[in-house]
Structure 1
Amino acid sequence: MTVTTSRNGAVGTITLDRAPVNAFDEQQAHEFALATAELDADPAVGAIVVRSARKVFCAGADIAMMDSWRELPDRGQRLEKFCLLLQEAFATVAASAKPTIAAIDGAATGGGFELALSCDFRIARTGAKIGLPEVGIGLLPGAGGTQRLTRLVGPATAYRLILGAELVDGATAERLGVVQWAVDDVDSAATALAERLAGLPPAAYAAAKRCIDAAGTGDGYALERSEIGALIHTEETARRLDRFISG
């Protein structure tokens, strides 16, 4: 197995472990999607952390695998199919109603950074190398990076990182808004954040995430009204409101 899952209390963890740099091939993409679905369906899991057992978070797609298709007449179709596989695997994370956290304790480049972008939160080691260098080798980010990064930080920063094929450290990534936190101890910070988020009301978290994702679609304001109207009827919201009012 190149992807494993574990649970400690309400925190579920997905660990990437494919030597030497967690580069994705078809098998790892399938395993990752299954691991995400497993933790997402576990009612005991309140938050999910994605981490690496290696010195890097993830170096992206397996370039050697892609290069092996060079002489094949259908190499373009093979690459498109592989990109779709990665897009669908990472979409399982993005679609999760539970808090998802990428613990970037090492380089996250190419598809590895695209995986991190599919998470709700990104915590990076201050010196970790982060970016989408695909244009520099004649390709482009094909696992959702052009779309997610642009929505996250806007075209100007997306141009800088994607068109410039620039790698930045964790501290710079935080300044650019690419990650939310740059820290020295990623595992501790990710665990603390996951434990805190796991304690939030799941229905409220999921509803707020849906509203944020609807920003700019023209439906966001109406969705806010319908979501909050539904939440006020839940027992969890009633308990928390009573506790808040009573001090």
Structure 2
Amino acid sequence: MFKVEDLGAVVRITLQRAPVNAISTEFIAGFMQVLDGLASKTDLSVIHLRSDQKAFCAGADLAQVQSCFAIEGGADVMRQNITHFHALFDRLEALPCVTLAEIGGSALGGGFELALACDLRMASSSAKLGLPEAKLGLIPGAGGTQRLTRLCGPGIAARIILGCDVVDGATACQLGMVQWAVAPEKLAQEAEALAQRIASQSAPALQVAKRCIAQVGTLAPSGFSAELDGIHSLVSTVEAQTRIQAFLAPRN
């Protein structure tokens, strides 16, 4: 599910779970193993995250979500599953190195929450980004309500989360959801150049700067707890089950 390339101070991780890098418990466990393997790398300055699928990451594996509907205590299972998302995204955010998400295709729901856990985001101008979980009777419960609000403010967060707006990369850049938007054909080259440029800087200085930036607008644990409680209450509703089943139904 992952291709890891050690380029010296830069490590490139390519998501490879066909067809859209849906995030399952196995995906999260695999990602954690990749990070475990990098923990002892002393010269690491940048993790460059990208995809070789048609989407950067389509978010939570909805088939796995749907499986919770049929079991007793499914809401509790769903809540536990989402804590694994939180663990991965919190770990990404806390890494001492710089993390860069190269978003060449759709980054929706949990896929955009994954990108939000990175320090930097460069998107194709035509990529689609958003947190449309309300359409499925859910919320962006893996840090999305918190990280997007911290990044862009409550007004933009409300537009994206409550309005279920899915925007292209160019608009996402204007809104502050990503820092760069480039032409699709230039994305890989530009992202690689950015990763190398950052890696050429002083690694200790980057680490200290990243820690200082993180002190501004530190996220409160109560916000993440509210997300988990919200997911727990929503996933057991007929509303969410009906909407997710309709979304997963074969298209004619």
CA distance in 2, matches of 1:210, 1:167: 31
| Alignment deviations for residues 115-150 of structure 1 (CA, whole Å, 9 cap, x no partner) | 000011000000000000101110011111111101
Corresponding residue for residue 48 of structure 1: 47
Q: Which runs of 5+ in 1 are unaligned?
A: 218-247
Aligned 8 A contact 2:124 2:181 in 1: yes
Q: Structure 1 pair 40/164, CA: closer, same or farther in 2 (3 Å)?
A: farther
Query: How does the TM-score come out when normalised to structure 1?
Result: 0.84
Q: What is the aligned length?
A: 216
Q: Which runs of 5+ in 2 are unaligned?
A: 219-252
CA distance in 2, matches of 1:216, 1:57: 27
CA-CA distance at 1:41 after TM superposition:
3.1
- Secondary structure (helix, strand or coil) at the match of 1:57 reads strand
Whichever residue aligns with residue 123 of structure 1, its letter is: M
Write the mapping of 1:65-214 to structure 2, written as runs, cut at 5 A: 65-184=64-183, 185-214=186-215
Aligned 8 A contact 2:5 2:12 in 1: yes
CA-CA distance at 1:22 after TM superposition:
0.4
CA distance in 2, matches of 1:37, 1:212: 25
CA distance in 2, matches of 1:72, 1:63: 15
| Alignment deviations for residues 76-135 of structure 1 (CA, whole Å, 9 cap, x no partner) | 111111111011111121111111100000000011100000011000000000000101
CA-CA distance at 1:9 after TM superposition:
3.3
Query: How does the TM-score come out when normalised to structure 2?
Result: 0.83
Q: Structure 1 pair 76/98, CA: closer, same or farther in 2 (3 Å)?
A: same
CA distance in 2, matches of 1:54, 1:97: 28
Q: Which range is displaced more, 130-139 or 34-43?
A: 34-43
- Bigger Rg, structure 1 or 2: 1
CA-CA distance at 1:186 after TM superposition:
1.6
CA-CA distance at 1:38 after TM superposition:
2.5
CA distance in 1, matches of 2:40, 2:216: 27
CA-CA distance at 1:3 after TM superposition:
2.0
CA-CA distance at 1:207 after TM superposition:
1.2
| Alignment deviations for residues 171-211 of structure 1 (CA, whole Å, 9 cap, x no partner) | 00000000000001221111111101111112211111111
Corresponding residue for residue 245 of structure 2: none
CA distance in 1, matches of 2:2, 2:19: 14
**4+ runs of 1 displaced by more than 3 Å?**
none
CA distance in 2, matches of 1:59, 1:40: 27
- Secondary structure (helix, strand or coil) at the match of 2:49 reads strand
Q: Which range is displaced more, 199-208 or 101-110?
A: 199-208
- Secondary structure (helix, strand or coil) at the match of 2:26 reads helix
